[in-house]
Amino acid sequence: MAQKATLGDDVFERLLDLIYSCELPPGAVVNESVLAARFSVSRGPVREAVRRLQGIQLVSREPFMRARVITLEPRAVRELFEMREALEGYASRLAAQRMDPADVEALAAGLDHNRRIGLGADDRQSPAETFDFHERIVRASGNARIVDTLCGDLYHLLRLYRRWSGSAGERRSIAYTEHRQIVLAIRNRDGELAESLMRSHIARAAENVLRHLPASAEAVGTDADVSAA
């Protein structure tokens, strides 16, 4: 099915999954040869995939040293969410200026729909809708560069942090209210307000993730090694 892309892209996805599933826990050594053997592939594609992960800053890198999956340091979390505040806030402002009226209504409708569906169900419902909401607004900014940065690189990291910190399904009803306010601001074409609301929204989400960080961030994955596979 997804056999259309190149091997490097494939390995990239699989590596991402390995990291998501904590099979490659934070701090784990990323060994090109071992991974190549595991995926039944040469070191070339693996190397390429690892370099891409290094580009996202999902694994650390210095020339001849071995690469490691990043750890869950509060500082890195803070920096990631600050960057999201800057970029997504600005994207919201742009969206308020540029978003198609029909798309605004579709966004609002989708939001209500998700609320009705998710209300009675368990509270840990898929964070997919959250990503969907944010992604829609980001895409509405009409800036491909910002879209690529947020929806490509940064969201990988974001999902990772939420998963690692176990703070996924929380704050759902609060988030709904905040999302709704943002939509209203966009509908009113109030870019200033939309940006401000989005920033607050993300800042609160950051606090939530930070509160759920494992006590000793380092201990999670230090000395873990992929060769256990």
The binding site for DNA (CB under 7 A) comprises 6-8, 29-34, 41-45, 47-48, 63-67, 227
Q: Should residue 43 be labelled a site residue for its own copies when binding is judged by CB under 8 A?
A: no
Q: Should residue 144 be labelled a site residue for its own copies when binding is judged by CB under 8 A?
A: yes
Select 69 or 111, whichever has its Cβ closest to its own copies.
Answer: 69
Instruction: Please name the residues in contact with 23: beta carbons below 8 A apart, sequence gap of 6 or more.
Output: 229
- Of residues 166 through 225, those in contact with its own copies by CB under 8 A are none
Task: Tell me the window of 23-31, 50-58, 168-176, 216-224 that interacts with its own copies (CB under 8 A).
Answer: 50-58
Task: Tell me the window of 12-20, 31-39, 51-59, 106-114 that interacts with its own copies (CB under 8 A).
Answer: 51-59
| Residues in binding contact with its own copies, number by CB under 8 A | 29
| Contacted entry of its own copies, DNA, none for residue 86, CB cut-off 5 to 8 Å set by kind | its own copies
Q: Should residue 80 be labelled a site residue for its own copies when binding is judged by CB under 8 A?
A: yes
Cα atoms found within 13 Å of the Cα of residue 102, Cβ hemisphere only: 0
Q: Should residue 86 be labelled a site residue for its own copies when binding is judged by CB under 8 A?
A: yes
Number of residues written out for the chain: 229
Q: Should residue 42 be labelled a site residue for its own copies when binding is judged by CB under 8 A?
A: no
Where do runs of H (alpha helix) occur along the chain?
7-20, 32-39, 43-55, 74-98, 101-120, 128-140, 144-147, 155-165, 172-187, 191-211
Cβ-based neighbour number of residue 79 at 10 Å: 12
Burial environment of residue 131 by CB neighbours within 10 A (0 to 12, 13 to 18, 19 or more): middle
To DNA, the closest distance from the beta carbon of 31 in angstroms equals 5
Contact between 19 and 160 (Cβ < 8 Å): yes
